[in-house]
Amino acid sequence: MINYWAIPNMGKMHLMQLIEMNEKVYVKTGGRFYFYKQWHDPDNYKRRIEKTFLCRKGNSVIETPIKTKTTAGEQSDTYINERHEYLDLAARLPIDPTKVHSNTSEVGGELMVKYFGSVTDRKPPEEFMKDKDPVEVFFTDKYFAELQKHFPVSPSGKYYRTFLEPYISGENSNNDLVMTIVDELLDCDVLFNPFMLCGKYMLGYLKAIELEKTELERYVVDQYKSRKNIIPYKENLVDCFASKLLRIKKYDVLQKYKTDKRVVWAHLDGVVRNTRRIEKYLQDNDIDPVYFNMDRDDYGEVFGFHKNELPRDHTHPGEYPEREQYEQIAKEYVTMRDMRDMRRRNRLRDWI
């Protein structure tokens, strides 16, 4: 059993596809609002079962709706003729179609913005949602065909907040709810976002780390000691930091770089700092990490996969208009910080 301790844009999508191809079970979060668990339909390799653990707004009871997904690399058993034109355009993108329609996808992100708005404001058409239960719409197969026609992407966290209670809200968390499902969530081959199962949103929030441990966190951390705890890192630092610049949506990176480089450097410092906070958290809790070099290490050897034919760059953003400029900025950052390793071992050089 494996915990994958990764900051954003550090191989989760690639790993999920390999997990699916190898018929493993994984658990992940939908932001602050729900956990979900996926495993294979034993009678149909193409199909995966997705069980969601959520709580409706104003309630204190966990619901577990079920829906089906398509295994990475496979063609869906269901093709909808009358569907949104976005789907046909997205099918031409250089990424597996089963993963392209999420809020975290770098590839296809601009296409989603064009049709459905920004990631922070994305919501389904009101006319489509009229008299429908949003839990049934987004967490069961009941409205699958209609979604393909009207809204074949994930809504924003802001929209989820209109009908779901978040598990995590700022420095607070609904630990009592999580305690009722924690053992079922831990029973998986690969656990993503392991920090959230502790009752904390993500390691980047320093205040969350410093809070006194709750009963939930103590219990989960004790369970983590018997699992393989993997921290991914990039040896190719220029590629790593260029990709992180691509994810910035709050401002125009190239314009900000011209007017105030310090803002860009601060963002990249945060990427490094959050990775190192993961290392420090595991160290403080007597958990030995296994480091995974995303550029060279073997997925089969580290994760125990038998099917390992997926190209290493399968979910990489690839070519994009700003790539050369972003790589130049990344090179300058690496040189300026004397960055030779994004892990804690380099902190006496870069002072991050």
pLDDT in tens, 47-72: 999 999 999 999 989 999 999 999 98
pLDDT band at 97 (very low <50, low <70, confident <90, very high): low
pLDDT given at position 229: 98
Tell me what the mean pLDDT of segment 77-105 comes to. Answer: 71
**Tokens matching residue 342:** 């994004």
- Computed over every residue of the chain, the mean pLDDT equals 89
The candidate with the shortest Cα–Cα distance to 294, out of 73, 95, 13, 1, is 13
Instruction: Tell me the three state secondary structure of residue 262.
Output: helix
Query: What are 291's strand-pairing partners?
Result: 231
Query: What are 36's strand-pairing partners?
Result: 28, 52
Instruction: Tell me the three state secondary structure of residue 274.
Output: helix
Dump pLDDT digits (tens) for 282-306.
999 999 999 999 999 999 999 999 9
Any long-range contacts for 105-111 (C-beta under 8 Å, 24+ apart)?
Answer: 105/13, 106/9, 106/243, 106/246, 106/247, 106/317, 107/315, 107/317, 107/318, 111/86
Tell me: pLDDT of 106 over 80: no
pLDDT given at position 233: 95
Tell me: pLDDT of 280 over 60: yes
Question: Contact, 32 vs 166, CB < 8 A?
Answer: yes
Instruction: Tell me the three state secondary structure of residue 145.
Output: helix
Tell me: pLDDT of 204 over 70: no
Q: Going by DSSP bridges, is the β-strand pair 34-41/26-30 parallel, antiparallel, or unpaired?
A: antiparallel
The candidate with the shortest Cα–Cα distance to 290, out of 309, 38, 298, 240, is 298
Tell me: pLDDT of 212 over 60: yes
Tell me what the mean pLDDT of segment 188-195 comes to. Answer: 95
The answer for residues whose C-beta is within 8 angstroms of residue 110's C-beta and 6 or more apart is: none
Tell me what the mean pLDDT of segment 215-228 comes to. Answer: 95
pLDDT band at 100 (very low <50, low <70, confident <90, very high): low
The candidate with the shortest Cα–Cα distance to 223, out of 180, 251, 186, is 186
Question: Contact, 305 vs 18, CB < 8 A?
Answer: yes
Q: At what angle do helices 323-337 and 261-284 cross, to 10 degrees?
A: 60
Q: Which residue has the higher pLDDT, 30 or 94?
A: 30
CA gap 71, 221 in Å, rounded: 31
Dump pLDDT digits (tens) for 125-182.
999 999 999 999 999 999 999 999 999 988 999 999 999 999 876 656 788 889 999 9
pLDDT band at 199 (very low <50, low <70, confident <90, very high): confident
H helices present in 36-96, as ranges: 85-90
